[in-house]
Amino acid sequence: MLKTGAHSDPAELRFDKVARFYDAVNSIVEPFSSRHRKRILSKVRGSILEIGVGTGCSFKDYPPGQSIVAVDISQGMLSRAEEKRRQYDGSIELRREDVQNLSFRDESFDTIFCSWVFCSVTDPIRGLSQLRRVLKKGGQLLMLEHVRTKNRILGYVMDGLKPLVARVGIDNTNRNTIEYLRKAGFKIEEERNIAYDMAKAIVAVK
């Protein structure tokens, strides 16, 4: 099931443009992402919200039988996620939403999951605050995310790559995501490096 609404956000238009070749480009890193998604998604419980679902590559990594609401800002991405949705042994509702202005009621979900999303959110603290709002008390936020490396040389290299990765919709891979989570009111339960210290698996709670 796909629910849509009227949007005209520049980010939506940008991701609509890359949707047609996203899976081909993403195939290079998908085995790495899938391995780490399966591990962190083994922790899901209750009602689930996935943010920035893209073309639905994550669906195969969920335990079967889950009830998931999967959202993205791009209609083009969601249209390509539809086929993968039908292949999942469980319930998935697709919706077009902006993480910075979610339409869900307060405390709607037990688990929120996102992977490689907040490098592309214009105002990450606002987006994370929205996630905390719609998460139930005691709920968990599961993340795979790019982070700012503590290695000065690698940091400079990643800064230099920003114009290149921006072409596929990634704005900033060097954000201090852990600090942003704390500013949004989350408590960090787990923080594990998965690519040196340039990417982390994170479990945060409300």
What's the rounded mean pLDDT across residues 112-134?
A: 94
The model's pLDDT over 91-107, given as tens digits with 9 standing for 90+, comes to: 999 999 999 999 999 99
- Position 12, amino acid: E
Tokens 């899901």 correspond to: 44
What's the rounded mean pLDDT across residues 30-54?
A: 97
What's the rounded mean pLDDT across residues 4-30?
A: 68
- Position 51, amino acid: I
CB 100 within 8 A of CB 126: yes
**Bridge partners of residue 161, in order along the sequence:** none
Under DSSP, is residue 55 helix (H, G, I), strand (E, B) or coil?
Answer: coil
pLDDT at 14: 67
Helix axes 75-86, 10-26, angle to 10 degrees: 40
- Pairing assessment for the beta strands 135-146 and 67-72 based on DSSP bridges: unpaired
pLDDT band at 180 (very low <50, low <70, confident <90, very high): very high
The model's pLDDT over 23-39, given as tens digits with 9 standing for 90+, comes to: 777 788 899 999 999 99
Range of the domain at 103: 2-205
Give the count of beta carbons closer than 10 Å to the beta carbon of residue 168.
Answer: 15
Number of separate domains in the chain: 1
Of 68, 73, 77, residue with least CA distance to 98: 73
- This model's pTM is above 0.75: yes
Torsion of CA 32, 141, 109, 95, to 10 degrees: -40
pLDDT at 8: 47
Looking up residue 100, the CATH number of its domain turns out to be 3.40.50.150
pLDDT at 89: 97
- Position 157, amino acid: V
What's the rounded mean pLDDT across residues 82-86?
A: 94
